[in-house]
Amino acid sequence: MGDFRYGRDHVNDFDLDSSEFNQYHDEVMSELGKCPFARSQVGNGYTILTSYEAVKQAAMDWRRFSSQDGFWPNRPSDMQWFQLIESDPPFHTAWRKAVNPFFSRPASEKLAPTIRAIVDRSIDAVIDKGVTDFVEDIAGALPVEIFFRELLPLPEEDFDRVVGYASDGFCGPVEGRAKAWAKCAEYVDGYLKRRRLEPPRGDMIDAIVKGVEFDDPSPYVHGMNPDQVRVSVVTNLISGSVDNIVYSLASIMYHLAQSPADREKLIANPAKIPQAIEEAMRFFSPNPMIGRTCKADVSIGETELRPGDYVMLGWGAANRDPKIFSNPDKLDFDRTDVNRHVAFGYGPHRCIGLDLARVQLRVALERILDRIPDFEVVEGTKPTYTCGLVHEMHGLHLSFPKGGGRRI
């Protein structure tokens, strides 16, 4: 008999888009972390690698666990392709090299003053009210401002529309996701065409418009021409630009609102904030898993796979593997092994924006804990979630003394 404590047998009948996975996300991640692998019966079915070592092994082995056939299980035939995440070397390597300078650690640290100003401006707008929907008012504003002003400079009036495409594409009704991404790609195509007619700005879009040259045209996967690839690269970057930061920052704040002792630790010693962020990324893992296609007979952990088998790399489960992390179901800001987490992925496809994410989270927490250090969840409220390939939080209502500072 399977284990139905969390609404369904997630080990033998997992469904990424099920209401049960959404409702019991943390509990399911913990249960999967104790298993060598899990199975889904949805559509063509797939295997989820859940142990830390198996996930890392597959993530490093792009030849036998290819990204080129899609990172989404049961991928709709009309879904847009996402470069970089749905390609392998040498295509992936060349394009990643072209955009990486804009996401490097030095480039990300240069944005710290801008991040600080954005967070302060968001706090200014709510600090005299003594209450905020943190996701809407503060967490949601930061990555949008950083990405769509500093890295991908879109017209301000288009911000909400583009973010909406990404949100609907990941977490909207399953039958409408391909259409949402098609709308996003259509918008990006028009934007790139306009930029080609403008003088260069020296930004990431100029680098993408310039493109990558290959002696052999074969790296253009999925029959895409170079212009379609450029649209796909931008659409891919949009897909990872907002939700992960919003969810991670909101999750940390929800924990701190309910755990005054942890909050006081960080207020007393802000130097611990980077370590706390790493532990929060391990514990909350904004991207639960990502897909690969097996290209050879492979024995990995306790799992036997054949060519054509679809496999999900369970980042969230691996981050709860008790063989790697002591007491993995406890969020512990003093954890010494936290830097082993795989919340940003692993191997050649590791998240290109990880340094920018760390800087955003660090600066945001520094400003929030300095200006509104005494906050709690509004009585009678709790956030809601939407979960699929990304995790979204909605409605985190926090209260604090009007004007900031401490309660008397």
DSSP letter for each residue of 113-178: HHHHHHHHHHHHTTTTTTEEEHIIIIITHHHHHIIIIIIS---GGGHHHHHHHHHHHHHS-GGGHH
What mean pLDDT do residues 74-84 have? 88
Domains of the chain are 19-399 (1.10.630.10)
Helix (H, G, I), strand (E, B) or coil at 37: strand
Residue in the structure block whose two tokens are 């990300």: 108
Instruction: Please report the pLDDT score of residue 263 as a whole number.
Output: 96
Nearest to 287 by CA among 131, 85, 145, 96: 85
Residues 333, 197: Cα–Cα separation, whole Å:
50
Residue 48 has pLDDT above 80, yes or no: yes
Share of the chain above pLDDT 70, in %: 98
pTM of the model as a whole: 0.94
Residue 90 has pLDDT above 90, yes or no: no
Share of the chain above pLDDT 90, in %: 79
Instruction: Please report the pLDDT score of residue 391 as a whole number.
Output: 86
Which has the minimum average pLDDT: 36-40, 199-203, 221-225, 380-384?
221-225
Largest pairwise CA distance in the chain: 69
Residues 106, 370: Cα–Cα separation, whole Å:
25
State both tokens at 360. Answer: 């955003």
Instruction: Please report the pLDDT score of residue 339 as a whole number.
Output: 82
- Please report which confidence band the pLDDT of residue 278 belongs to, taking 50, 70 and 90 as the band edges: very high
Residue 350 has pLDDT above 90, yes or no: yes
Instruction: Please report the pLDDT score of residue 217 as a whole number.
Output: 57
